[in-house]
Structure 1
Amino acid sequence: MGLRDRLRSRQRPHAVYRLRVDDTTEAERELREAREAHRRAAKNDTDPAPAQERIDRAEEALNRCYEEIVFRAIPPSDLEALIAAHPPTEGDKDSAWNPETFPLALFTASAEAEDMDEDDWKQLLEHDVSHGEKLEMMLLAQSVNVRAPSSHIPKG
């Protein structure tokens, strides 16, 4: 495969936000206990396989407490069009876009979820998450689209 093919097959940057949707207290407790059982098994030279299976089950239970929201960078031409569709207001001449409308538009354009539409995302952001979670997700959508690529954002 040549350079052209590799570059053309490259996926746009993306980032994942893990949103807690269930109480993690019980799953975290079980995971701590499972890890402790694994340490005891290793210390006592007993078969660690049952303890490892318990860890695996506990990690799966903890992961089920979260939903992963993937934000994928939109094509540069789409980003430019989105910015143009949300110009800064009279009072925001120093901004590249309208700070009231652009972040949500970028969020919904970048979030990957087949069963969520703009109204669903708006409902989530306005009513179903904390202010901190909302800000983190909005910034994550911006970071995969607007800032210079970071080695910390997976490329594929």
Structure 2
Amino acid sequence: MKTQKPFNHFKGIIHGISSDGRITRGQFEEMKLWCQAHEGLCQESPFKEFFEEIKSVLGGGTMTSEEIDEMKTILKKYESQLSVSESVEAKMQMLQGICYGILADEQINKYEIYVLKKWLEENNSMLGLSPFKEMHALLTDVMDDGQVDIKEEKELKKYFLEILKMEV
């Protein structure tokens, strides 16, 4: 299914950018870039309808928390048609999307790390597998003192970029 990967990436992006409760201009632009990159998949249903709904929400020029909730509702609506969400491949695609969404504003804060760590723990069947296990260990170390310092942020950015390079 050629639409599963972009769907799961977008689902992760939404999860990542909404994790700290604010949507920056850069994060909004990343969502628009995702739309441009996947416009070619829009000839077939149900991706066509999913894409049109997402694009209509993005049409406003900014992103409110209500619109993020609307995006999440749209994702739930199409999930069973566009993804095998319990597969390892789908979880990896989602993880890549979350990393991408967190990196979109070029800052990593403790709220984003907390939400990502929580997502990993909710998907604990993945914690025995690489890179989920290593990611969880890194996040646990970073959150040990409840803060993300500059050194830790650099390390996280480097690791997130490695995750994004993985072929899925």
What is the TM-score normalised by the length of structure 1?
Answer: 0.28
The structure richer in helix per residue is 2
Looking at CA atoms only, which structure, 1 or 2, has the larger radius of gyration?
A: 1
Q: Which has the higher strand share?
A: 1
Q: TM-score, normalised by structure 2?
A: 0.26
